């Protein structure tokens, strides 16, 4: 009986030991899987960040295309030579940005900072009122009174939202 007890005890101990080994091995696999999942999450996060960063650059590029087109139209409406020259300068700086290789971030940053400093020097450009007056003058000049009324109504509703650009 004692031998049987010893054998069963040893078997139980071996079973327990093997279970512990299995549990440890399972824990190691789980830890490895957790590390792998964490690594994948970090990689995915970095990839998302890179995609967002690239998308921001693309969006910024698209916005400058629309801005250039709008400024080209506005330039044709304006009578003041000073305003035309200012708009031409902005269009020229945007054209520089568009002609640069999109992967050449240093040159793009330099030209963008030049454009921003140009806006800083001419604080009128940062005011929505400056651009609104140009549009109003265009509507008046071309007898588009309905468009002028609609635009003034629109600006009246949006005026609290719009302020000077940063």
Looking at the domain assignment, is residue 25 inside a domain? yes
Looking at the domain assignment, is residue 154 inside a domain? no
Buried b (16+ CB within 10 A) or exposed e, 19-48: eeeeeeeeeeeeeeeeeeeeeeeeeeeeee
Half-sphere exposure of 40 (CA within 13 A, CB side): 6
How many structural domains comprise the chain? 1
Q: In a structure prediction context, what are the per-residue pLDDT tens digits for the chain, which is 166 residues long?
A: 444 444 444 455 544 445 544 455 555 666 666 665 655 555 555 555 565 555 556 666 666 777 778 788 778 777 788 888 888 888 887 787 767 766 777 777 777 788 788 878 887 777 778 878 888 888 888 888 888 888 788 777 666 555 555 4
Residue pair 94/64 in contact (Cβ under 8 Å)? The answer is: yes
Looking at the domain assignment, is residue 142 inside a domain? no
pLDDT of residue 129: 80
Looking at the domain assignment, is residue 133 inside a domain? no
pLDDT of residue 116: 80
Looking at the domain assignment, is residue 13 inside a domain? yes
pLDDT of residue 2: 40
Looking at the domain assignment, is residue 74 inside a domain? yes
Looking at the domain assignment, is residue 160 inside a domain? no
Q: Which domain holds residue 47?
A: 2-126
pTM over 0.85, yes/no: no
Looking at the domain assignment, is residue 29 inside a domain? yes
């Amino acid at each position: 009986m004692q031998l049987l007890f010893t054998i069963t005890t040893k078997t139980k101990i071996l079973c327990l030991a093997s279970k512990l080994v299995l549990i440890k091995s399972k824990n190691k696999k789980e830890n490895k899987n957790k590390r792998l999942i964490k690594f994948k999450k970090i990689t995915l996060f970095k990839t998302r960040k890179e995609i967002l960063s690239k998308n921001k650059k693309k969006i910024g590029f698209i916005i400058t295309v629309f801005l250039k087109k709008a400024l080209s139209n506005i330039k044709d409406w304006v009578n003041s030579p000073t305003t035309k020259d200012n708009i031409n300068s902005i269009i020229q700086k945007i054209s520089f940005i568009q002609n640069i290789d999109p992967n050449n971030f240093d040159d793009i940053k330099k030209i963008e900072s030049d454009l921003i400093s140009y806006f800083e020097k001419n604080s009128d450009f940062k005011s929505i009122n400056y651009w609104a007056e140009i549009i109003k003058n265009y509507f008046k000049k071309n007898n588009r009174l309905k468009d002028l009324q609609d635009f003034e109504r629109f600006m009246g509703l949006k005026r609290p939202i719009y302020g000077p650009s940063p």
